[in-house]
Chains A and B, each alone.
Chain A
């Protein structure tokens, strides 16, 4: 199936640990994103990559580091996890605007719980 897929779907870990979330899209899109959704459902962009190049890097602790090995993958690594990192993290992708604005395709989310 064509989609944006994230793994894992759920992640429970202790404070201080390091963890990674993986994202892959097989839609042929040029741009990928990471969003964080808090407990009130508010969505905040964290990072955006276009063809493996970082183009958006919002005010995010440097414990968060995105990695894009190719334009179909955008992984998120988090060092020294804190309680406040608990949230749902969404990966998304979009096609270049020159092809028309079709919005984003989202993954199903990774629910991170730090205990």
Chain B
């Protein structure tokens, strides 16, 4: 079946540090890949996506590249801010309907 594995959190960084959150997936064929962000007390928001191999999704300074050869979709940001503190979810969508989520990674950015 389809599955998503994310690096375990929590992750704590200082402001302006470089961020990487690892995500690997298992799926048949070519799923679409997503990163969602959940700020405290809120629902999930789509951060970025990529729908085919070698595509790069980007938004708000975050980037992730769809790597078919390593089945990965790692999230990166060059310089994090306190306002980036949230839970980040990697997800894939293989069939017509259902998103499969990773377990989430809590990020805390300290001033």
Contact = CB atoms under 8 A, between A and B. Distances in A.
Contact of B46 (A43, A103, A107): A103
Contacts of A96: 96
B43 A90 contact: yes
B43 A55 contact: no
B106 A97 contact: no
Contacts of B103: 40-42
B87 interface: yes
Interface string B65-104: 0000000000000000000000101010100111101011
A108 interface: yes
Interface residues of A, number: 26
For chain B, the bracket of interface size reads: 20 to 34
A104 B46 contact: yes
B51 interface: yes
A5 B46 CA distance: 16
Contacts of A41: 38, 87, 103-104, 106
Contact of B32 (A42, A56, A101): A101
B55 to A, nearest CB: 11
Interface of A: 4, 31, 33, 40-43, 45, 48, 50, 55-56, 90, 92, 94, 96-97, 101-109
